[in-house]
Amino acid sequence: MSSAAPSPKGASYPAAAYLALYGLAVALPLLLLLGALLYRSAVQERERLEQRLLQNVDALTNDLDRDLDRDLAILRTAATFQSLKDENWPAFYTQAKAALQGRAYLILVDASGRQLVNTYVPYGEQPPMTGDPETIKRMAEMKAPVVSNLFVSLVVKKPVYNVSIPIFDDGRVRFVMSLGLLPADLASLVAGRDFGPEWVATIWDANGAILMRSRDMDRVVGKIVPDQMRAHGQRAVFRTTNLDNTDVLQANVRSRIADWTVAVNVPYSLIVQNWRTPLLIWVAATILAVAFALISGALFARLITKPLSAASGAAAALGRGEPVPLASSRLREAAAFLRALATAQFELADRTAQLRESEARLAAMLDQMPCGVGLMDREGRWILANALMRRFIPQQIPSHNPQSRPRWRAFDAEGHPVDPIRWPSTRALRGGNANNLDFVYTDDEGKEFWVRKSAAPFRNTDGKVVGAVLVMEDVTEEKLAADREKMLTRELIHRSNNLLAVVQAMAQRSLSDADTVAEAKVKFDARLQALARAYRRLRASDWTGVSLGEIVHSELEPYAAHATIEGPEVRLNPQQVQNISLAVHELATNAAKYGALSKPGGKVNVSWRLGENGGLKLRWQERGGPPVTAPARQGFGTTLLKRLVGETRLVYAPEGVICEIDLPPDMSVGPERVEIAS
């Protein structure tokens, strides 16, 4: 039996690979140094870009704060108007409108939010209430200037923001004066700045609503800035994605006056472009180094591997049993190896011939043995097996091909599916014996046969378990004989005990029911005769059962002219034959003595049918006899019916006795008969 040669542990690689790795090991430090220098250059370039971003966003934030300071100065100037102190609102309206010169519009509201002056509309046409209640609330809490978030103006009908100051009276906010400004006013902040076409500046309020953007401003004003652009502290530079879903490097700075954020970002691709040239240089250097290592490794490996390949071919030829080619080699080690292989070839050929002769003798001897014998290695693979054992080996492989050899299914003594080869063998391979393990096989046609399995460990000279010896023999006849003996013994004991109990009961009730010993003897003899008839019928059927119709006709034969019998073919088991025979005998005896059969015109009808639940329903009905009355005490027949036969109902109707018997539904129903199983 052949097996694959063991492979050495661990992976192996050609000589060219090792030589190439040697070349790479020499070049690797230089490549790493070059890569470190190029990486440092790229990092410095990014740092310069980050610094430029911060400078631009700081400058833009300072310009924004200066504009807001100027707006607050305008408001503080307007707060000094005498018309405001006199609360002369028409005069204040005229004075404020002239001072603003169209740059913005001024709104004056009281502490409740009621608009008093709005220079965006003619005096007196201002909305009744402010459109920026949030600023009124914040002003009451802070008592300091407030720059609002973006909101929709009631008069402008578009997004605006307010720059507001409080006007106090006795320490409390009496009025709030605001400048209403459009987001477009912020666009001048980026005008003329050297941002470049890729740079984008954005300003958003505390709610994240965009106030200004240097690109596509009309499209994005009022939209909410994504979270990834916002949450990075007071002043930070970080990588993110912008509103256009572009990968960017962004700098954020918070305004010192408003709760606003100013951001400037550039596409991250600019940084990648700065890295591209150093990266290409490093990649080119790496490719050249790898190519040099591979080419030089291949050239030097050729000088070494050629003689090694010749030695490998010679070893393979030896394994196949072919002549070993004795090629010369300039590599000293390879030449010595080839000479050793040639010597081993002669020795191996001689030992192989001896082994094959020994195997042939062993196989011939094992094939003559009357049982299956096999040898299995440590991994559970077959080393050898005689003809009978080979009958079982293929059964481990499932087959759905009807033309293939039969495959058997094996079960243990408790009926559980098992692998009869592997199960005992596993114990033997672990060093223990597995003796006299019996398995039942079932073929595709349902036929069963028993096999006894024994297994023992097979050890080498060091005592180590290297396999298992297995023996399998057919013990079907032994099992069948034992089963028949057990079955006959149980049946004999059961029937003897049952018959003894019935005869004892018959004797006791015959004596108790009779007035004299002679009468008791007659009753007991009649009942024994009925029991004997039942057993004669069972012997004639080889104890396989008796037809219910045959029992009824036999017991009513003396009264055939007065009886009608009808029902399907039903075959009763031995126990039911005994009980039903005695029951029909008792019913016939009582009818002849007291019932319908005691009168010339009396009739008895016996019928049976199959019940819906699979059981049997038997009915005895008498007519034309003397009037019926219920007996004062229960006789043997009634006791037999109720205790041995089945569910029984006795009706003592005036026109005649009715007896209905329900036999249990433990019957197998065939196309022509019903059998009550034993």
| The three-state (H, E, C) secondary structure of 427-438, written as one string | HHHCCCCEEEEE
- 200 and 52 in one domain? yes
Residue 19 lies in a domain: no
- 633 and 520 in one domain? yes
Strand order, beta sheet including 235-241: 210-213, 200-204, 261-267, 247-254, 235-241
pLDDT score, position 669: 31
Query: Which residue spans within 361-417 are E strands per DSSP?
Result: 372-377, 382-385, 409-411
- 671 and 610 in one domain? yes
- In sequence order, the 6+-apart residues with CB closer than 8 A to the CB of 357 are none
Q: Please state whether beta strands 448-459 and 616-623 pair in parallel, antiparallel, or not at all (unpaired).
A: unpaired
- In sequence order, the 6+-apart residues with CB closer than 8 A to the CB of 94 are 123
The DSSP symbol for 645 reads: I
At 428, which CATH number? 3.30.450.20
Confidence of residue 603 (pLDDT cuts 50, 70, 90): very high
CA distance 65 to 45: 30
- Please say which residue of 241, 271, 301 terminates a domain: 271
Higher pLDDT, 108 or 353: 108
Render pLDDT for 388-446 as a digit per residue (tens, 0 to 9). 777 766 444 343 444 433 445 555 545 555 555 555 667 666 666 666 677 776 766 66
Average pLDDT over residues 292-311: 70
Render pLDDT for 46-56 as a digit per residue (tens, 0 to 9). 788 889 888 99
CA distance 161 to 132: 9
Higher pLDDT, 145 or 380: 145
Average pLDDT over residues 209-228: 91
Higher pLDDT, 169 or 332: 169
pLDDT score, position 536: 83
Residue 344 lies in a domain: no
The answer to whether the CB of 196 falls within 8 A of the CB of 208 is: no
Residue 572 lies in a domain: yes
CA distance 345 to 353: 12
Among 107, 109, 128, 129, which Cα is nearest to 119's?
Answer: 107
Instruction: Kindly report the pTM of this predicted structure.
Output: 0.42
Confidence of residue 78 (pLDDT cuts 50, 70, 90): very high
Residue 152 lies in a domain: yes
- 156 and 57 in one domain? yes
Straight-line distance from the first to the last Cα atom of the chain, in angstroms, rounded to the nearest whole number: 54
Higher pLDDT, 342 or 216: 216
What 3-state DSSP class applies to 108? strand
- 407 and 432 in one domain? yes
pLDDT score, position 287: 82
pLDDT for residue 225 is more than 90: yes
pLDDT for residue 321 is more than 70: no
Q: Which of 85-99, 416-430, 591-605 has the highest mean pLDDT?
A: 85-99
pLDDT score, position 539: 79
Render pLDDT for 522-561 as a digit per residue (tens, 0 to 9). 666 777 777 788 778 777 777 777 888 888 888 888 888 8
Average pLDDT, the chain: 77
Amino acid at 591: A
Structure tokens at 537: 């019928």
Structure tokens at 529: 């005769």
Residue 394 lies in a domain: yes
| The dihedral formed by the CA atoms of 388, 389, 390 and 396, expressed in degrees to the nearest 10 | 130
CA distance 134 to 149: 9
Among 287, 289, 271, 281, which Cα is nearest to 37's?
Answer: 281
- Please say which residue of 452, 474, 496 terminates a domain: 474
Which residues on adjacent β-strands are paired with residue 201? 264
At 638, which CATH number? 3.30.565.10
pLDDT score, position 451: 78
Percent of the chain scoring above 90 in pLDDT = 25
- 526 and 642 in one domain? yes
Q: Please state whether beta strands 465-474 and 563-566 pair in parallel, antiparallel, or not at all (unpaired).
A: unpaired
Positive or negative, the CA dihedral 44, 47, 51, 56 is positive
Q: Residue 168: which H helix or E strand, with range?
A: strand 159-169
pLDDT score, position 422: 57
pLDDT score, position 520: 60
pLDDT score, position 329: 64
- Please say which residue of 448, 474, 500 terminates a domain: 474
Residue 588 lies in a domain: yes
Within the chain, what is the greatest distance between any pair of CA atoms? 153
pLDDT for residue 512 is more than 80: no
- 638 and 613 in one domain? yes
CA distance 657 to 82: 132
Residue 279 lies in a domain: no
CA distance 550 to 569: 10
Positive or negative, the CA dihedral 479, 480, 481, 482 is positive
- 184 and 57 in one domain? yes
- 618 and 514 in one domain? yes
- 559 and 448 in one domain? no
pLDDT score, position 396: 43
CA distance 622 to 594: 11
Structural domains counted in the chain = 3
- 193 and 72 in one domain? yes
- 519 and 455 in one domain? no
- In sequence order, the 6+-apart residues with CB closer than 8 A to the CB of 466 are 377, 378, 458, 459, 460
Render pLDDT for 237-291 as a digit per residue (tens, 0 to 9). 998 999 888 999 999 999 999 999 999 999 988 777 766 676 677 777 778 777 7
Render pLDDT for 342-397 as a digit per residue (tens, 0 to 9). 677 767 777 777 877 877 787 777 777 778 887 778 777 777 788 777 776 644 43
> Domain range spanning residue 537?
482-676
Residue 339 lies in a domain: no
